[in-house]
Every structure is written in structure tokens, then in C-alpha cells.
Amino acid sequence: MGRKRRRSSGKRDLRNEGESVAALIEKRRLRSRAFMRQWRADPENRVTERRRRYQDYVAKKLRIAERLRLHPYTGAHGQPLCGLCGLARPVEIVERLRISRGASEEYVKILVPYCGRC
């Protein structure tokens, strides 16, 4: 009953715990990697994945086209861009001629933001 209590070294416990957690994470990573390699090797899953990626691609293209239709000459975050190069901020508005769709006029004047460099 007169035994002294010994304190455990906290650093040692943390190190052992960190090593065991790292080992579990590595084991899970390898298992997940093996599963995904097997899953991707299945032809049905390949077709499904290709179809899903294509649908995502088309949806993204449609979102971008709709944004540009509603807000022409703007970037992804709504900032104004040059109507010719699409890179720099515009400093002036220039007139351009566009071929008209109707037969009444040959050309129609449109206003385009211009950066002055392109």
C-alpha cells in the first residue's frame, strides 16, 4: 500500500497515439485505393463515370453560356471585362458594327467595352 504512483510520460503517450492514428489512416488509404482501382476496372462503372462527367461538363457549359447571355462582357464574378479580348478591365466604350438579321438594315451599331490595349 505504500507504493508510489508513477506518472506516465505524456509525450510518449502522444507519440504512440499519433503513430497508431497514422497507421490507421495509411491502412484506410491503401484499402480505399485498392477498392477504387477495382471499381474503375469494371466496364459498367467506366461507362457510368464517363456519362456523369459528360453531363457535368454540359451543365457547366450551359451555366456559363446563360451567364454570358444575361450579363455580356463580364467575368465569372461579375466584374466588367473587355468585349474584344475578355481579359482586361474596360476603360472606354467603342462602337462596333454587327451584321443585321433583318433585311431592312445591313449593319447595326453596338456598344462594346474596350480596354484600350488589345
Give 21-78 pLDDT, tens digit per residue: 999 999 999 999 999 999 999 999 999 999 999 999 999 999 989 988 999 999 888 8
CA–CA separation, 56 and 48 (whole Å): 12
DSSP state of 85: T
Q: Which residue spans within 4-117 are E strands per DSSP? A: 92-99, 107-114
Give the domain range for residue 113: 73-118
Q: Tell me if 118 is assigned to some domain.
A: yes
Instruction: Answer whether residue 47 is part of any domain.
Output: no
Residue 46 lies in a domain: no
Domain count, the chain: 1
**How many CB atoms are closer than 10 A to CB 45?**
13
Report whether 83 contacts 112 (CB < 8 A).
yes
Q: Is residue 117 part of a domain?
A: yes
Question: Does residue 81 sit within a domain?
Answer: yes
Which percentage of the chain shows pLDDT scores above 70?
Answer: 87
| Per-state percent for the chain, helix, strand, coil, to nearest 5 | 50, 15, 35
In a domain, 22, yes or no: no
Q: What confidence category does residue 95 fall into, taking pLDDT thresholds of 50, 70 and 90? A: very high
User: Is residue 58 assigned to a domain?
Assistant: no
